[in-house]
Amino acid sequence: SENRLWFIGVLLVGVLYNTHTSTMIAFGVSAATLSFVLHEPRFIIAVVVGLPVAVVISGGYYLRVVMNHLHAARFWLRNVAYTRAHQIEDSPLFSTRNGGSGPSSGLYRSRLSLAVRVLGENPFILALLVTPPPPNVWAAHMYWWAIAILAWSLLTTFGGPLRILGPGFHYMKASVFPTAYALAVTVNITEGALSLVGLTLLFSMILSFAALAYFYRVMARRATEHTAQTPPDLAEAAGYMRRLPGGRVLVLPSMYADFVAYNASKSVVWGGHSGNLSRFEEFYPVLRRPLSYFVERYDVDYLLLDHAYVTPERLGVADAVSTLDRFGSIAVYEFVRPEAAVEPTAPDFVARHTPSAGSEMA
């Protein structure tokens, strides 16, 4: 019966809650849209009822997940102006790269480029925009699903505080399947006849190949942001640090912190994954205190820097560190304290006790 299928759907929604956050948000937006457009409240009711089901399925663990989401939301509401900012160049402690005392635009640099980025995640959405809602029931549902995701992606890209739930273009991947389904049904109904939908579909296909080519080009050229693969120099530096005594390291850019923690078996000054982020806020998304503060507070032994990202001189610690080794653009430094010897630590020493990899801030 329909009711039995609906209850099965609620159970599946509970499972979905326990998977990926942005996927669940996209699903909730789509369900709310379908309830509004089709005047069918069971879609949004399934999302609401699915929440306690998710808690039961997880044995209560999902309540902790929700609390962590609330901590993250509050953190980014306070720091939305620094979304995807450069941790050093956009710091109020430094002269920012845009010449002022506030953050540069970071990822949100141009409305046109952002719109292109959103559409580049699913160029076929252009064909859907010139397609009327299909008469087929399933295709109509898919149509509004895709439209809802597009609207949500735009809102979380250009919607100011809503950016805490973005970057919006990440949601567009959830629109790929419903877009393909709705367009396939539409093309099948027209039986391949020449139409505006067909021409736009062809144009979207060309844009799709262009977007893929551009994506691979950008990923191949990135040096200080998320890269397509682990930089070999970073892997070599982490292996070197694994043989060093001492257990605490500060890593910049911070995206390398988890890799260094695991591969160098060192504790890192990091902690943006879960829990209350109030202590983390002085370190990220921009430095709000001098680097020396973190070195003293967390008793940091080493500094690992990607010189393509920042240098000791820029950080104001050039006189406080001694170079241990250099691996391409990756440099490993030791902090020299007044009571410590000036000579760098020999790389062949093995730590008597290596702390478990993890965060020193969370």
For 1-25, how does the pLDDT look when each residue is reduced to its tens digit (9 = 90+)?
678 888 999 999 999 999 988 889 9
Q: What percentage of the chain reaches a pLDDT higher than 70?
A: 83
Is residue 207 very low, low, confident or very high in pLDDT (cuts 50, 70, 90)? confident
CA atoms within 13 A on the CB side of 187: 15
Neighbours of 255 (CB within 10 A): 16
Specify if 85 maps to a domain.
no
CA-wise closest residue to 332 among 294, 306, 353, 359 = 306
Structural domain including 22 reads 1-78
Specify if 90 maps to a domain.
no
Q: What is the pLDDT of residue 345?
A: 45
Whether 71 and 189 map to the same domain: the answer is no
Q: What is the pLDDT of residue 10?
A: 94
Q: How many domains does the chain have?
A: 3
Q: Are 18 and 54 in contact (CB under 8 A)?
A: yes
Q: Which residues pair with 265 in a beta bridge?
A: none
Whether 145 and 184 map to the same domain: the answer is yes
Mean pLDDT of 336-343: 59
For 20-53, how does the pLDDT look when each residue is reduced to its tens digit (9 = 90+)?
888 899 999 999 999 999 999 999 999 999 999 9
Instruction: Give the tokens for residue 31.
Output: 């369900």
Least confident of 151-165, 235-249, 312-326: 151-165
CA-wise closest residue to 241 among 303, 328, 306, 321 = 303
For 139-155, how does the pLDDT look when each residue is reduced to its tens digit (9 = 90+)?
999 999 999 999 999 99
Question: pTM above the 0.75 mark?
Answer: no
For 89-105, how does the pLDDT look when each residue is reduced to its tens digit (9 = 90+)?
999 888 655 444 444 44
Q: What is the pLDDT of residue 348?
A: 36
For 228-287, how does the pLDDT look when each residue is reduced to its tens digit (9 = 90+)?
567 889 999 999 999 998 889 999 999 899 999 999 999 999 876 678 888 899 999 999
Specify if 98 maps to a domain.
no
Based on DSSP, count helices (H) and strands (E) in the chain, helices before strands. 13, 6
Least confident of 112-116, 128-132, 224-228: 224-228
Whether 284 and 311 map to the same domain: the answer is yes
Count the residues in the chain. Answer: 362
Specify if 94 maps to a domain.
no
Q: Which residues pair with 323 in a beta bridge?
A: 333
Is residue 204 very low, low, confident or very high in pLDDT (cuts 50, 70, 90)? confident
**pLDDT surpasses 70 at 179:** yes
Helical segments of the chain, H only: 2-17, 21-38, 42-57, 61-78, 111-120, 125-129, 137-158, 176-190, 196-221, 232-242, 257-263, 291-297, 312-315
The phi and psi torsions of 268 (rounded to 5 degrees) equal: -120, 150
Specify if 89 maps to a domain.
no
